[in-house]
Each structure stands twice: as C-alpha cells, then as structure tokens.
C-alpha cells in the first residue's frame, strides 16, 4: 500500500504541512518556521522535517508543495523566490525528493490557491476560471478547459505584471506601470508615502511610518479619509480594468478575487465592479461572474492537498453516463 499524500505550503515565514484525508481535506497542520535566510538547503531540510512530522515518519506516497515564486512544475525548477534568500534556479523538486523519498510536485503558491478555489471554492464546477489574489503582491491562477494552465515555461498566471498605467509607479520587479504597482498592498503603501511626502492632506499622516500598511489604509478609508479612499478606488479600478481585459481574452465563467485586500469588501469591489464593463465586451461579461474567493488563507493548503491528489492520487473514476 502506498503512503499518504502530503500537501505543503511554503511561505516566507511559515511552513505548513498536512496529510490528505480526502480530495480537498487534510489532517492536523504541522507548522514550522521557515529558515528564510538560510538558503535552499536549510529551507528544504525544514520542509522535509515538516513532511516527516505530518506522516508520523512514514514515506509519503507523494508530496505537492506550493512555493512563492515563478517556477516550472514540469521540472521542479524554482527560478526565483523573492522572500527566500538565495533561491535562484533551485532544483527544488529533485532536492526535496532526495530528502523525503517520494515523488514531488512543485507548484507556485498562487496557482495552488487558484486550483483550490476551482476545486473547492468560488470556481467549483466551471471549465474556465480565473483566480486573482491581491495582497502584498498580485498573483493568480488560470484554469483553462479544466486544466491549470502552466504555459511553455511553467510560469503562466502572473496576473500582477501587466500594464495598468504606463505612467504609473513601478512594481517590485521594476516594471513601470504594472498592476502590482497600483493595486497591491505594497503598491498602495508606496503610493500613500509618495502622496504624503508631496504634502497631501490625510489622516494617514498621523500613522507612524512602520504602521503604514494596507490595513491602515483600509481603516482610514472606512473612517472617511479621502486619500485612503482614493487609493482603494484606484486599486479597484485598475483591477477591474485588468479583469475586463482577461474576460475579453479568456471568456471565463467565473473570476474570483482573493488575498488580503479582498477582505476590504466594497472598498475594493465597488470600484472594481464599476470598472470591468469599461473594458470587457458585453457578451463574455454577461456569461461571467466576478466574485470574492471563498477559501481565505486556507486556499494554499487546500490547493496543495488537491494538487497532490491530482498528481499522485488514484485516477478519477469514469463518470456514469447521464
Ligand atoms: Zn511588474
């Protein structure tokens, strides 16, 4: 009998691992701090320890791991991981296979969150589905024709890096005018600082520099501060225009928006939904629902569990004819 399937969510601060108990359910979570400055060997040692703890020392039947960076799921090569020191062209799949003794499926963390939403959340039952996550950065996952779309290099789904405003601020990758520069938490904080330094009047000017984050902007927007509201209006509008373009390109059945910024509710969704029709064609828009994601911070783990099942589980039983 083959061993248990294991899902792992590797974050910049925390490693979470659990054994699959069903297609999208898992046993108790094992949590280990990520030795983020220790380099790939140290991080993958810690991942292997978390996997062993989750299985009680048994060799797993397969492990799926979500990693925060662009990578190639076909080869297990992680091109880079901005939150993990020294991760450049790391053969994470092979290195982890040596450590745990089973097959490894490496996948981008946002792609797995999207796969989770498609399997068990806002995109359930669809064939064409877009997941966009807006938090410190912007990422996503594309399900096209019932398959998680990887593209030639394996990196497809980087929805944060398309032009929102050619004259807009740079993103974390140095692209001028990226969606991420306007509509991510990092981008909104950066814009808030520039506006405050430029003398803008806002209750945010009373917030200590190290307390100025997306949550503070949300709180001040809810309290009626015009600048904080403008930042959310701009972020929501940029996301809505980008989603409108994606609807034109892919004609999905559902677009789900997750990540920490989506918790702001109407502050983000009202300008977002108002902007979509400015870009989307009427017919594909009429066949598409734009909704909040459903799985919250659980999406990464659920996605890893579901992906382990997809990669290493028993083949799905043939559906009985209608
Ligand atoms: Zn960019």
Distance 132 CA to ligand 1 centre (A): 15
Q: What is the pLDDT of residue 313?
A: 87
Domains 5-109+299-312 and 122-294 share a fold: yes
176 Cα–ligand 1 center, Å: 7
Determine the pLDDT at residue 288: 98
Q: Is residue 132 within 8 Å of residue 266, measured between CB atoms?
A: no
pLDDT score for 125: 97
Sheet containing 289-292: give its strands across.
147-148, 138-144, 129-134, 254-258, 289-292
Rounded mean pLDDT, 163-189: 92
- 125-153 tens-digit pLDDT: 999 999 999 999 999 999 999 999 999 99
Q: Does the structure show a pLDDT above 80 at 318?
A: no
Give the DSSP H or E segment for 62.
Answer: strand 62-67
Which of 23, 304, 6 has the alpha carbon at shortest distance from 141?
304
What distance in angstroms lies between residue 239's CA and the mean position of ligand 1's atoms?
14
What is the Å distance from ligand 1's center to 280 Cα?
A: 22
CATH 3.30.420.40 for the 122-294 domain, yes or no? yes
Residue with tokens 């190290």: 210
Distance 137 CA to ligand 1 centre (A): 10
Q: Where are the domains of the chain?
A: 5-109+299-312, 122-294
* pLDDT for residue 16: 98
Query: How much is the mean pLDDT over the chain?
Result: 95
* Residue whose C-alpha is closest to residue 22's, from 311, 293, 308, 297: 308
| CA 302 to centroid of ligand 1, rounded, Å | 27
Over residues 270-274, mean pLDDT: 98
> How far is the C-alpha of 20 from the C-alpha of 105, rounded, in Å?
14
Work out the number of other CB atoms within 10 angstroms of the CB of residue 121: 27
Using pLDDT thresholds of 50, 70 and 90, give the confidence band for residue 315.
Answer: low
CA of 133 to the centre of ligand 1 (A): 15
Q: pLDDT (tens digit, 9 = 90+) per residue, 177-212?
A: 999 999 999 999 999 999 999 999 999 999 998 999
User: How close is the Cα of 163 to the center of ligand 1, in Å?
Assistant: 8
Question: What mean pLDDT is predicted for residues 14-20?
Answer: 97
pLDDT digits (tens, 9 = 90+) for 29-48: 999 999 999 999 999 999 99
**Residue 314 has what pLDDT?**
81
Cα–ligand 1 centroid distance for 296 (angstroms): 24
Environment of ion ligand 1 (residues, CB < 5 A):
161, 171, 173, 175, 178
Q: What percent of the chain has pLDDT over 90?
A: 91
Distance from Cα 18 to the centre of ligand 1, integer Å: 33
170 C-alpha vs ligand 1 centroid, how far in Å? 7
Question: What pLDDT is attached to residue 316?
Answer: 60
- Alpha carbon distance 45, 199 (integer Å): 49
- Cα of 136 vs centre of ligand 1, distance in Å, is 13
Domain 5-109+299-312: top CATH class: alpha beta
Residue 173 CA to ligand 1 centre (angstroms): 5
For the segment 296-314, what is each residue's pLDDT rounded down to a tens digit? 989 999 999 999 999 998 8
Specify the pLDDT at position 1. Answer: 43
| Per-residue pLDDT, 163 | 93
Answer with the residue of higher pLDDT: 170 or 35. 35
Nearest to 115 by CA among 84, 147, 83: 147
What confidence tens digit (pLDDT) does each residue in 226-240 have?
999 999 999 999 999
Give residue 172's pLDDT band: very low, low, confident or very high (50, 70, 90): confident
Please tell me the predicted confidence (pLDDT) of residue 173: 87
Residue 317: predicted pLDDT: 63
- 180 C-alpha vs ligand 1 centroid, how far in Å? 6
CA–centroid distance, residue 319 to ligand 1 (Å): 42
Give the distance (Å) from ligand 1 centre to CA of residue 230. Answer: 22
Q: What is the mean pLDDT of residues 163-190?
A: 93
User: Is the Cβ–Cβ distance between 217 and 231 less than 8 Å?
Assistant: yes
CA 213–ligand 1 middle distance (angstroms):
20
Q: How close is the Cα of 89 to the center of ligand 1, in Å?
A: 20
């Amino acid at each position: 009998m083959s061993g248990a399937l294991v899902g792992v969510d590797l974050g910049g601060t925390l490693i979470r691992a659990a054994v699959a108990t069903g297609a999208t359910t898992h046993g108790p979570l094992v949590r280990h701090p990520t030795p983020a400055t220790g380099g790939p060997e140290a991080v993958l040692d810690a991942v292997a320890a978390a996997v062993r703890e989750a299985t009680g020392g048994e060799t797993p039947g397969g492990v799926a791991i979500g990693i925060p960076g662009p990578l190639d799921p076909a080869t297990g090569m992680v091109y880079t991981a901005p939150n993990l020191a020294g991760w450049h062209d790391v053969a994470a799949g092979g290195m982890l296979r040596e450590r745990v003794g089973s097959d490894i499926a490496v996948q981008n963390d946002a792609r797995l969150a999207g796969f989770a939403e498609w399997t068990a959340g806002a995109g359930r039952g669809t064939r064409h589905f877009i997941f966009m996550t807006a938090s410190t950065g912007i990422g996503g996952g594309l399900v096209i024709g019932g398959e998680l779309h990887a593209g030639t290099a394996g990196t497809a789904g980087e929805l944060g890096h398309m032009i929102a405003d050619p004259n807009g601020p740079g993103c974390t990758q140095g692209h001028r005018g990226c969606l991420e520069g306007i509509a991510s938490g990092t981008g909104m904080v950066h814009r808030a600082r520039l506006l405050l330094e430029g003398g803008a009047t806002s209750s945010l000017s009373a917030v200590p520099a190290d307390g100025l984050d997306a949550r503070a902007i949300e709180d001040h927007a809810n309290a009626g501060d015009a600048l904080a509201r403008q930042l959310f209006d701009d972020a929501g509008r940029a996301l809505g225009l980008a989603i409108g373009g994606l609807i034109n390109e892919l004609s999905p059945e559902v677009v789900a928006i997750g990540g920490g910024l989506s918790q702001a509710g109407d502050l983000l969704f009202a300008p977002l939904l108002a902007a979509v029709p400015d870009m989307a064609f009427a017919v594909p828009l009429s066949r598409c629902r734009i909704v909040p994601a459903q799985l919250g911070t659980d999406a990464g783990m659920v996605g890893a569990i579901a992906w382990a099942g997809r990669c290493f589980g028993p083949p799905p039983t043939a559906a009985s004819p209608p």
